[in-house]
Amino acid sequence: MDENLMMIWQKCLQFMRDNLNAAEDNSDLKKLEKSFDLLFDKVQPISLVDNNLTLMVPSDFYKEYIEDNYLSLLSAALKKNIGKGVKLWYSVMENKPSGLEKPVTMNMKGKTVPTPKMQETMPQGFSSNIVNPFVVPGIKKVNIDSNLKADFSFDNYVEGESNKFASTVARSIAKRPGATAFNPLFLYGGYGVGKTHLGQAVGLEVKSHFPDKVVLYLSSEKFIQQFISAAKAHKQTEFANFYQMVDVLIIDDIQFLSGKSATQDSFFHIFDYLHQNGKQIILTSDKAPVDIMDIQDRIVSRFKWGLSAEIKSPDLDTRKRIIVDKLSRDGIVLTEDMLDFLAAEAKTNVRELIGVINSVIAYSTIYKSDLSLELLKETINKIAANQKKIINIPYIQEVVCEYFGIKREQLLSKTRKREIALPRQLAMYFAKEFTNATFTKIGEEMGGKDHSTVMYACDTIKDVSKIDKEVKKYVKELTEKIKH
């Protein structure tokens, strides 16, 4: 064997070994290196001619394993030590016939791939929000946007009897993510009680104390969307590789995995990998684990591995302290009777309470008036009057049906006739534009359509309205009708 070729190959192996995924501890790293060495100890370079490198491998299995798991990393190593445009060939040993000293080989060309640039940050245009953020297997972790909001910190989280237990557990996890018995942490409760805030607070605290850890927050709807795109592109492995990099995974509204069997399968394997490797998982839901319908039993059982903590609607005392905390940050002080009035008006959840507070601040600023009990009552009355005019999905359906002269039953039907299908897509598009409903919720309101159907409708209307004058006209006129 050419000594120069052997030196080049050893440099390539060292480069690949140096860029194996960083492990959390030395034992994991040693296992990774041992697996790497076992594979490449049986791989030998036999020629390098005109930028054609031929590797001798024991069998097809070795060739396929290298192509599936190390091709991009090997490509980077070849570029560094040989140069651009290296073509890879394999000489695969077959069974040695009796009487032959040398094994019979079969030459096979390797896959041609662009040589990746070694990087420690996301490529331009990549973020954790895109359809499917992939990384090159075997290369160092990349930096990703955690999708965390600075306002959702523990400092801004007001504890009360309704959330004290969940908050205490969350703070404990933030100090030792993945190393407590609370993994996963399953937070459940009604709409707007602070589940998202608490989950993100853990993420922010982890990033503050462990800046090297990869923290990712996303909605289950985004997770489903990414998985569907990955499946269509036959990139499920890359999809899983990305999530296996995460140290703290926070998924909101996990109940929307209900009925999504393929996505559940992928989530199950990601969950198992993260849990087995000491990574922290935090999930939120509007239901307790046992109450979520159409979720695989094996997933529900894993929800129970850690701790389920319910967050209830805040009691009067907690609501008052939330009001004081929020307004004090804006330099506003209320009298006790004003505080009692506000807290009594917003009984359902924290989000409603914050909405009332923001409205009070806005009215006070606009009218340059000192806050008084009378102003508060006037503000609340105006909010109540405006709520009667809230644009919701049934209202949008009514406007669209009237505009096209069709019945609501037709709009919600399964017919694909253009005279019905287009109004239906427009109704879905406007439901997403004018309401806070999720794709799943819109689909339910539109006759039980799948969330992917709603996503497709929204994208279609956006695209077609740019090139089709008639659809553009529909969008413009219906927008005005819905608003007024």
Binding residues for ATP: 192, 194-196
- Tokens representing 470 are 């008639």
Q: How far apart are CA 225 and CA 438, in angstroms?
A: 12
C-alpha radius of gyration, the chain, whole number: 29
Residue 105 phi/psi, 5-degree rounding, is: -120, 160
Map the chain to HEC letters.
CCHHHHHHHHHHHHHHHHCCCCCCCHHHHHHHHHHHHHHHCCCEEEEEECCEEEEEECCHHHHHHHHHHCHHHHHHHHHHHCCCCCEEEEEEECCCCCCCCCCCEEEEECCCCCCCCCCCECCCCCCCCCCCCCCCCCCCCCECCCCCCCCCCHHHCCCCCCCHHHHHHHHHHHHCCCCCCCCCEEEECCCCCCHHHHHHHHHHHHHHHCCCCCEEEEEHHHHHHHHHHHHHCCCHHHHHHHHHCCCEEEEECHHHHCCCHHHHHHHHHHHHHHHHCCCEEEEEECCCHHHCCCCCHHHHHHHCCCEEEECCCCCHHHHHHHHHHHHHCCCCCCCHHHHHHHHHHCCCCHHHHHHHHHHHHHHHHHCCCCCCHHHHHHHHHHHHHHHCCCCCHHHHHHHHHHHHCCCHHHHCCCCCCHHHHHHHHHHHHHHHHHCCCCHHHHHHHCCCCCHHHHHHHHHHHHHHHHHCHHHHHHHHHHHHHHHC
How far does Cα 202 stand from its chain's mean position?
Answer: 16
Report whether the peptide linkage leading into residue 184 is cis, meaning its omega lies within 30 degrees of zero: yes
CB neighbour list of residue 51: distance below 8 Å, 6 or more residues apart: 82, 83, 85, 86, 87
Binding positions are 192, 194-196
Handedness of CA 433, 357, 216, 223 (dihedral sign): negative
